[in-house]
Amino acid sequence: MSEVIRFGVSLEKNLLLRFDRLIRGKKYTNRSEAIRDLIRREMVKEAWEKGGEVAGAITFIYDHHQRDLLNRIMDLQHDHQKIILSTQHVHLDHDHCLEIVAVRGSAGDVLELADALKALKGVRHGTLSMTGTGKETK
Ligand code: NI
């Protein structure tokens, strides 16, 4: 393990209070641990964005009563079928559907599809989880 260096961080009080609440909720034992994780996550993201194939899942919940939403979701999925491995649909309750889309492709393509799905009116709480496959696409 390389040498550990301490450094100071200046933040607005309110932002720090919110950060503390956030990391308590995520069960971090201290701020250093949380900040290290944030930094690592950003670095992994940067590596993905520079090329490399990624695999992951786009998960989202939507209101299936929303007009035209189903068609828009379907259109997006057809437009991105090269990176979609499979789609799982769950009818959660009377109003809501949950969809899990397994993807594999360049990070740019995967992010584009995830952002487009999350931006649709009526889609709530979309998340993307990605991991590297170790292959380079560029
Ligand atoms: Ni459904």
* Protein fold of 53-137: Alpha-Beta Plaits (3.30.70)
Residue 89 Cα to ligand 1 midpoint, Å, equals 6
Give the separation between CA 5 and CA 45, rounded to whole angstroms.
Answer: 23
pLDDT in tens, 107-123: 888 888 998 999 898 99
Residue 108 Cα to ligand 1 midpoint, Å, equals 28
Cα dihedral across residues 22, 28, 29, 30: positive or negative: negative
pLDDT in tens, 64-76: 898 899 999 999 9
Please, what's the b/e burial string for 45-68 (b: 16 or more CB within 10 A of its CB; e: otherwise)? eeebeeebbbbbbbbbbbeeeeee
Q: Is 70 exposed, middle or buried (0-12, 13-18, 19+ CB in 10 A)?
A: middle
pTM of this prediction exceeds 0.75: no
Residue 91 Cα to ligand 1 midpoint, Å, equals 4
Residue 95 Cα to ligand 1 midpoint, Å, equals 8
Residue 39 Cα to ligand 1 midpoint, Å, equals 37
